[in-house]
Amino acid sequence: NNFVVATPDTGGTARAMAYARLLGLPDIVIFDKQRVDAGMIKAGSIKIIGDVAGRDILIVDDMADTCGTICEVSKAGKEAGARNIYVCVTHAVFSKGAIEKLDESEVQEVIITDSIWHSEEELKPKRVKITTVSITTLLANAINNISSARSLSELFKI
């Protein structure tokens, strides 16, 4: 009951709603921000739509590149009273010191898939926990469904 699913930008609202529905959670939180330039968030521009006070946040996103957005919205969430912050991303690019940024951020744990390979050493930061989930079975089933002329959407029904 203390968890809330969040999206780090308005474009991920449908994704966050799908996660919340799968987890049986009643609402989501949206972090809205303004960019100064690519990869640069305007200082003080992050607005939180929804309630994070006293709650644990699960931020869901499709990709984490430099982790600048994740770190900034995590900071805003903590300032608004969030307890613990967890992140779940599909594609962990982790460029330009991303893991070091995560280590210095408010994030407790990052859950990623193995869609992009990283060495074990790279995924052992000092503080933040990084958990990798394999997608090999999902990919094998997708290939099987395609070759059998079956729908891919059936792979995502729970």
Give the CA distances from residue 36 to residues 9, 39, 41, 43, 120, in Å, rounded to whole numbers and listed in that order: 15, 8, 6, 9, 35
- The verdict on whether 33 is a catalytic residue reads yes
> Which entry of 33, 75, 78, 129 is annotated as an active-site residue?
33
Tell me the residue type at 43.
A
- Report residue 22: phi and psi, to 5°: -65, -35
Contact 2, 26 (CB under 8 A): no
Which residues are identified as catalytic? 33
